[in-house]
């Protein structure tokens, strides 16, 4: 079986070269090795997949990246202002050991109605509105609370974060009014870092979002390219042909553009006996003779399911067989 679909792309590479054929044999071997590597399941087939579907992979990746960029641009920019408050235990009565504050409890206190109602009155907004952009976290194992507020307006974010921090420190620093009341055992909070005016939005994070979109788009492109390649039922390479046809490939004939019009230009074995195409026909002749050795066969049929030049292949193979000096074979 033949494969004449390998193209070098340079007509001059098929012009006559040295008559000994050594250089052309080396070029032909390299061409055949490259074509074998084009088939699925062969070593390096992933590189073949990436090269064959490069446009698809690039297009899908850019499409995902563009969608992510549009989505990120449509998101509302949020500015975050943060005030830091240190929470200290209340002085122990009678010289005892003070109990360390529970920071998870203090986080709940910041978001409680007692604190938010006081902060809401200070900034003149409803308590429910004030709680929407609030977040409170304890910094590691320390006794520092980070009171953050997010808002599209950086000045509002700063004002509300500062108001909530002030309301919390006021709530935790309140002293009992009655003289007979026992000393308070609640922690004491103190503002250590006031909320600063944010100069850049905290979200969306364009570099991070676009980087994630690039990775997702690339992975999606490769997966879909593999699916397209898997569903492609075209013959790709001699190994694929052997698997599909359950027959051996005897040779590969490179495609060529004849420099002379008419049948003479197609008869490479006579017009260009030193070319790589002629070397491919001589190699095919050797494989044919070895295949038919010991068989009582006198006819070789050259056929194709499509438009390839069957007559060209048959004529060149006939000339190659005639030049071998053996008995003539009938080529149909």
State mean pLDDT over 34-62.
74
Q: Name which of 13-22, 157-166, 252-261, 307-316 the model is least confident about.
A: 13-22
* Residue 231 pLDDT grade (very low, low, confident, very high; cuts 50, 70, 90): confident
- pLDDT of 242 reads 72
How far CA 250 is from CA of 38, 39, 210, in Å, comes to 17, 16, 51
To 10 degrees, the CA torsion angle through 96, 102, 105, 107? Answer: 120
State yes or no: pLDDT of 263 exceeds 50: yes
Question: How many C-beta neighbours within 10 Å does residue 238 have?
Answer: 22
Tell me phi and psi for residue 325, to 5 degrees.
Answer: 85, 5
* Residue 40 pLDDT grade (very low, low, confident, very high; cuts 50, 70, 90): low
Q: How far apart are CA 280 and CA 275, in angstroms?
A: 9
- pLDDT of 196 reads 93
Pairing of strands 330-331, 299-300: parallel
Alpha helices in 41-126 (DSSP H): 45-52, 54-74, 103-110, 113-123
State mean pLDDT over 50-64.
91
- pLDDT of 19 reads 42
Pairing of strands 144-151, 2-6: unpaired
The dihedral through the CA atoms of 273, 276, 278, 284 has a sign that is positive
Token pair 């490259």 in the structure block, residue? 34
Q: How far apart are CA 54 and CA 66, in angstroms?
A: 18
The pLDDT tens digits of the residues spanning 177-196 come to: 555 555 556 788 899 999 99
How far CA 65 is from CA of 53, 76, 210, 224, in Å, comes to 18, 19, 7, 16
The pLDDT tens digits of the residues spanning 3-13 come to: 444 333 333 33
Q: How far apart are CA 194 and CA 109, in angstroms?
A: 19
DSSP 3-state assignment of 42?
coil
Q: How far apart are CA 66 and CA 62, in angstroms?
A: 6
The pLDDT tens digits of the residues spanning 157-181 come to: 999 999 999 999 998 876 655 555 5
Q: Within 13 Å of residue 240, how many CA atoms lie on the same side as its CB?
A: 18
Residues 6+ apart with CB under 8 A from 191: 83, 84, 85, 165, 166, 169
State yes or no: pLDDT of 77 exceeds 60: yes
Does this model's pTM top 0.75?
Answer: no
- pLDDT of 253 reads 79
Task: Considering only residues 122 and 50, tell me which one the structure prediction assigns the higher pLDDT.
Answer: 122
Residues 6+ apart with CB under 8 A from 8: 14, 31, 254, 255, 256, 276
State yes or no: pLDDT of 68 exceeds 90: yes
Tokens of 32: 């055949």
- pLDDT of 4 reads 41
Q: What is the DSSP letter of 204?
A: S
Q: How far apart are CA 150 and CA 76, in angstroms?
A: 11
Q: Are 85 and 147 in contact (CB under 8 A)?
A: yes
The pLDDT tens digits of the residues spanning 81-96 come to: 999 999 988 765 555 5
């Amino acid at each position: 079986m033949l494969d004449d679909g390998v193209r070098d792309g340079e007509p001059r590479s098929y012009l006559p070269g040295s008559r000994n054929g050594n250089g052309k044999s080396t070029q032909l071997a390299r061409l055949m090795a490259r074509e074998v590597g084009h088939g699925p399941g062969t070593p390096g087939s992933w590189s073949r997949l990436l090269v064959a579907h490069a446009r698809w992979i690039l297009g899908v990746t850019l499409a995902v990246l563009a969608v992510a960029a549009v989505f990120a641009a449509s998101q509302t920019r949020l500015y975050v202002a943060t005030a830091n408050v240190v929470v200290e235990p209340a002085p122990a009565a009678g010289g005892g050991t003070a109990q360390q504050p529970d920071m998870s409890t203090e986080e709940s206190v910041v978001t409680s109605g007692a604190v938010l109602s006081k902060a809401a009155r200070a900034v003149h907004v409803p308590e429910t509105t004030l709680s929407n952009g609030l977040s409170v976290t304890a910094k590691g194992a320390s006794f520092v609370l980070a009171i953050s507020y997010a808002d599209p307006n950086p000045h509002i974010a700063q004002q509300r974060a500062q108001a909530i921090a002030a309301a919390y420190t006021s709530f935790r620093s309140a002293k009992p009014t009655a003289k007979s009341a026992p000393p308070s055992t609640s922690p004491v909070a103190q503002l250590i870092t006031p909320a600063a005016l944010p100069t850049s939005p905290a979200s969306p994070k364009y570099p991070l979002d676009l980087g994630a979109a690039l990775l997702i788009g690339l992975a999606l492109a490769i997966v879909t390219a593999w699916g397209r390649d898997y569903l492609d039922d075209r013959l790709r390479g001699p190994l694929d042909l052997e698997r599909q046809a359950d027959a051996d490939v005897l040779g590969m004939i490179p495609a060529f553009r004849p420099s002379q019009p008419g049948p003479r230009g197609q008869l490479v074995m006579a017009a260009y006996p030193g070319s790589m195409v002629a070397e491919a026909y001589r190699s095919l002749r050797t494989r044919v003779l070895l295949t038919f050795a010991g068989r009582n066969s006198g006819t070789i049929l050259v056929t194709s399911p499509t438009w390839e030049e069957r007559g060209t292949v048959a004529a060149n193979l006939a000339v190659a067989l005639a030049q071998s000096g053996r008995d003539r074979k009938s080529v149909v």
